[in-house]
Amino acid sequence: MISLLPASEKIIIEAGTPLIKKYGTRGITSLSNWWSEKIQKQGYIVADLKCMDRGSREVWAAAEAGASSATCLGLAPIETINEFIGECEKVGIDSMVDMMNIEFPFEILQKLKKLPTVVVLHRGADENERNREKQLQHDQIHRIKGTYGKVLISVAGGETTRDVVRTFFNDSDIAVIWRSFYEAPENTANLAKDFLKLVK
């Protein structure tokens, strides 16, 4: 399926949590090598570690494997998040803090020594399927950006290109769109092309 994607620097490839659990850091390396060859330069790979503890060790392993960034959960202890962000800075990759299941992400950011590169506002896959009333936190984007101008915002949990439009309309920097790609691989190329038209 991934081979159907058009070669574009605007597409970020995620080494998802299930992939990393199954294949370890080899999965990250394989994706990094493949995508870099496809776009003829170093591709951007997110290692979705969902780190909850031992932040520095997990970051080091992801960076060694070729990741461009890694994720830590906002539900992790503040000490872990601080260590995670510091280690990402040290090894030269971007830090992403995933605010899945956190009602007020702003409160987590206020406690940190340093801001992450990216704040991820995330409605999880299980929530998406079983709690359709829970909305993506678009209202948090302006609050976070208004206070912390330099931080990037990623919105995860959308299912369609319409969700992508809404995400960027609300001033997100990154949109994670997965379900349409995952459930209809035969349409992946067309979906990706539509996505790229939306983010010109």
DSSP state of 133: T
Residue 48's pLDDT band, with cuts at 50, 70 and 90, is very high
Q: Is the pLDDT of residue 181 over 90?
A: no
DSSP state of 74: T
DSSP state of 155: E
The domain of 87 spans 2-198
Calpha distance 32→80 (Å, rounded): 26
Residue 197's pLDDT band, with cuts at 50, 70 and 90, is confident
Residues 46, 50, 55: CA angle, nearest 5 degrees? 95
Calpha distance 13→9 (Å, rounded): 10
The radius of gyration computed from the CA coordinates of the chain, to the nearest angstrom, equals 16
Domain count across the chain = 1
This prediction's pTM: 0.90
Q: Is the pLDDT of residue 73 over 60?
A: yes
